[in-house]
Structure 1
Amino acid sequence: MNYGLAPEPGLGTAAEAAPTSTAKKSAGEVRSRVAKQERMMRSAAPAIGWFMLSEADRAAANRLLASASSDGTRDELGFAPIHFAFADRFFPGTSVQHAQLRYVFFVAWSYQELLSSTAGERFSIDRLFEIERRYSRRLIKSVETLEGSGISGWTKYEADQRPVVRASTIYWTALRSWRIATPVAGLGEAPTETQLRALWPRLVTREDGDDGKSRTADLFEGLPAPPPGWRNKTGKLEFALLAREARYLRRLWEAAGRGGTQPLLSRLIEQGVTTESLWSAKVRNAATKPDREALALAERAASVACIARAAHSALIEQRRNADRNAEDHRHADALPGLIEEHRDMALDLDVAALRTETRIDNDLAAFIETVMEWVRERRPLDAIANALTIRERDLKDVRAYLVNEQRRRDWQKGIATPLDYRWPVVRGMIQCVMEAL
């Protein structure tokens, strides 16, 4: 097996070391040189390395990437740019991975604690992990049921292992977007996780002079203090926000929109809107006029995505039936009803306005127009099959379900739903803040 090792510079290969008519080296000299090269290559340190993840680890990482790419639904048809554009406009800093809002404080307090003990040193991922493991174990002991508790990585902590994706990674974007994290070390904005870890040794500065005092950077200006006993290894730790934490978030959310403006998220908090549907009159009434226009555009795009996903699922089901000589028809049965439910909304979509708002590319815009035309003409599933196949193949290559029989074997999916723009998660956040105030 070739492990990607390379000979030391200038050594070449055995073939390159062989004598030529002009080199005039003796056979003994050649053999000696080749033997030396082989000894050096065997003892050389590998130039690259790798590590192996278990199947469970890979599955967990894949779940994170899949859910982060869109609205929690696998995005085989590439609607993620629309989802991101509207979700980030209405609810900046949020993610479908944000199961418990108070994690933003747990992460911030963890970094504060780490900085207090390692200021001026190189960043230690191991120390951060120990802090995360400590508070995670306390959370685990504080809930009755772990399944669905929102505790990040609890299955790994229970097995005394490290999570594949830690809470500090999942929630760091929120700390930056909501300006909980502050610019440090001369940066013009709050650092990314990678930047912060690289800058860690520079977070301590000294005043001029031999007796100058050291000063540690403030990573989170105005952050509420952690609860008493934060550094304890045992004791109850809860996800419920304290009033001071809720007020802090509410204040920051007021300026979390584009250019420091008030986003829809903040306006919904002000009016206590937690309706089941993002498209309710209460949401529209809380929105500014530009946001109401964007909401209307987002709802129409969500309907187009729902129809396209429903047709895609029905087509996979059809082809898998042919593969397996089966007669499944769950998605085929659902398709006509979904088309009728979303038909009017989908056909009202202004694709040009959508492109202006979301900056989607030409291929996605053309695909949307194809879906709309198919719906308008009320044509059968086979009429859209080619467009769906090409779209998925262009995005997923050989991994596309519609062209890969092996991948279709284990395919499972719920009935298609419209894009939700993270509203279920955001609705929970709003409820969490309101309960604390």
Structure 2
Amino acid sequence: MAAFTSTVGWIDISSAALRTMRAELEGQEKGVLDEMGVGALHAGYADTFFPGTSVLQTRARYLLFVPWTYLWMASQRRSSPENAGALKESAEAWLISRLRETERGNGIIGGEVYPRPPVQPPDVAYWTALRTFRLYDGSASRAQLLARWDRRRILRRDDIRRGDEDLDEPPLGCFDVPGVPTWWMNKDHEVRFSLEPKEAQFLRDRLVASQPGFLLGMAASMLKKSRRPTSDRLWDDAFMLDAARALDERNGGHGERTASVVQAVERTRGASAIAEMVRAIYAALVEGQREIDLRRAGRPTPDDVFAYRNGLYDYWSGNEETTVDEAAALDLAGLAGDIHLPGDLRSLLDHVQSRLQSIKRAKQVDALLLDSSTRELFTRIERRRKRGRARLPESDGLTRREGFDARTVRVEGLDFRYQVTRRLLLDLHGGLFP
């Protein structure tokens, strides 16, 4: 991490650390442990369909709030490298305080820790989006912008178009957004997430122009008063499937050289299901080893010591049969054509799918999903992924299994950042058709 001195001791996150943090968050979507690497399915499809999005993002208007923060800082004659961090924090604190008055905490970055500054401020969540959607262009990264702060070299695109003769050097950073509103930093002004019509049209135009070959850009272009996302799940959303079909048609069909976007979207159903099954198996395997640890130590076992194993049984004896069917029916060759699959992950998915296809009833789970060969495969992969942190290895994972219980792992499928994308599209829709 790179630290920069300010009157409040502000600390920035380096680009490398930011990339690492994003990767960890993608791998632990919604707090779900990703010891087996199925987060690669989530990130792979999310980057294919919705580049520029992040699990950290909440509301579309932050795409304007973040540039306005920097442009306001640049407008302050007293701003300097020494106080840039403090100025940025003051603007972010003002924004949080105003949003807390109107939005009741819904999607406010830093709202839960206010008045303390958030560990991950809005620009951390939105910087990649600003570049991807062509709202920011400059030689400086987010960290460099503050480290090399020069307010004269932080500009808005329209200012450059008019010609700025005061610059001795090219801009460090350039934001292509509407101008900072007059109410910015007014302590009495009401601030909301709702986009104004002109703001929504601007953002839609930018999304469409910056992502012509991606599902996000096509979906943004197809928003109409009566057409918008309607489902919580990507593969079940008729609007998104229509956008995928339109993208296929524009690409000239899906022959040998062009993969079908519709089929890729439909495969996310099975990808989510098989990821859920991998997580369920992993949790049951660790739980079983934890039970052995307790017996060997002569310690009592809790009543829910086999909660994950019983949950795994429920996929065949309860109401979750469709998850198994979807995972078993997934076209793994098509999946590998859609996104990159690391070698270990492809081997894991092949193994799990073949076992799922063989199981007909819950009694077969122990023999086919909790057996020694499955345990060895999962252990080997976890050890490679989490050196020094793996839970499954019998001996060196002993201390890391301490405290493992029915609350440790959340067993659920993948989202592919669709909740973030859906919220973005709905924010655009609300501004376009108030």
TM-score bracket for the superposition, by shorter chain length:
0.7 to 0.9
| Percentage of identical aligned residues | 27
Residue type of the alignment partner of 1:127: L
Match for residue 36 of structure 2? 77
**Equivalent-residue separation in structure 1 for 2:243 and 2:24 (angstroms):** 31
- Residue 418 (str. 1) matches residue 426 (str. 2): no
Alignment of 1:203-282 (within 5 A): 203=153, 213-214=166-167, 217=171, 219-221=174-176, 223-257=177-211, 263-266=217-220, 269-270=223-224, 271-280=227-236, 282=238
TM-superposed CA distance for 1:143, in Å, is 4.1
Match for residue 73 of structure 2? 114
Match for residue 25 of structure 2? 67
**Equivalent-residue separation in structure 2 for 1:327 and 1:389 (angstroms):** 26
- Residue 303 (str. 1) matches residue 273 (str. 2): yes
Residue ranges of structure 1 left out of the alignment (5+ in a row): 1-50, 54-60, 186-190
TM-superposed CA distance for 1:308, in Å, is 0.6
**Equivalent-residue separation in structure 1 for 2:342 and 2:275 (angstroms):** 15
Q: How many residues align?
A: 363
Whether contact under 8 Å (2:33, 2:410) holds in the other structure is no
Residue type of the alignment partner of 1:128: K
Residue type of the alignment partner of 2:389: R
Residue type of the alignment partner of 1:92: P
TM-superposed CA distance for 1:354, in Å, is 2.4
TM-superposed CA distance for 1:109, in Å, is 0.3
Match for residue 318 of structure 1? 288
> 1:101-158 CA distances to partner (integer Å, 9 max, x unpaired)?
22221111001112223699548323222221222222233344x4xx2221234333
Query: Cα gap change, 1:227/1:69 in structure 2, threshold over 3 Å: closer, same or farther?
Result: farther
Alignment of 1:391-430 (within 5 A): 391-403=381-393, 404-411=397-404, 412-413=407-408, 415-430=410-425
SS for the counterpart of 1:76 is coil
Query: Cα gap change, 1:87/1:227 in structure 2, threshold over 3 Å: closer, same or farther?
Result: same
> 1:368-421 CA distances to partner (integer Å, 9 max, x unpaired)?
111112212325232222222222222112322324344334442465222110
SS for the counterpart of 2:415 is coil
* Alignment equivalent of 2:113, drawn from 145, 150, 156: 156
Greater relative contact order structure (CA < 8 Å, 6+ sep): 2
SS for the counterpart of 1:398 is coil
Alignment of 1:11-410 (within 5 A): 66-72=24-30, 73-117=32-76, 122=81, 124-144=84-104, 146=105, 149-158=106-115, 161-182=116-137, 184-185=138-139, 192-197=141-146, 200-201=149-150, 203=153, 213-214=166-167, 217=171, 219-221=174-176, 223-257=177-211, 263-266=217-220, 269-270=223-224, 271-280=227-236, 282=238, 283-288=240-245, 289=248, 290-322=260-292, 323=294, 325-328=301-304, 329-338=306-315, 340-378=321-359, 380=366, 381-383=369-371, 384-403=374-393, 404-410=397-403
* Structure 1 vs Structure 2 CA RMSD: 3.4
**Equivalent-residue separation in structure 2 for 1:125 and 1:359 (angstroms):** 39
> 1:292-311 CA distances to partner (integer Å, 9 max, x unpaired)?
02112322222211111111
Query: Cα gap change, 1:74/1:415 in structure 2, threshold over 3 Å: closer, same or farther?
Result: closer
TM-superposed CA distance for 1:268, in Å, is 5.9
**Equivalent-residue separation in structure 2 for 1:171 and 1:204 (angstroms):** 18
**Equivalent-residue separation in structure 2 for 1:119 and 1:68 (angstroms):** 39
Deviates more, 1:61-70 or 1:272-281: 61-70
**Equivalent-residue separation in structure 2 for 1:244 and 1:410 (angstroms):** 53
SS for the counterpart of 2:209 is coil
Whether contact under 8 Å (1:334, 1:415) holds in the other structure is no
> 1:190-246 CA distances to partner (integer Å, 9 max, x unpaired)?
x531344456448279x9xxxx6448847222x223444212234322222212121
Residue type of the alignment partner of 2:101: K
**Bigger radius of gyration, 1 or 2?**
1
Whether contact under 8 Å (1:308, 1:371) holds in the other structure is yes
SS for the counterpart of 2:56 is coil
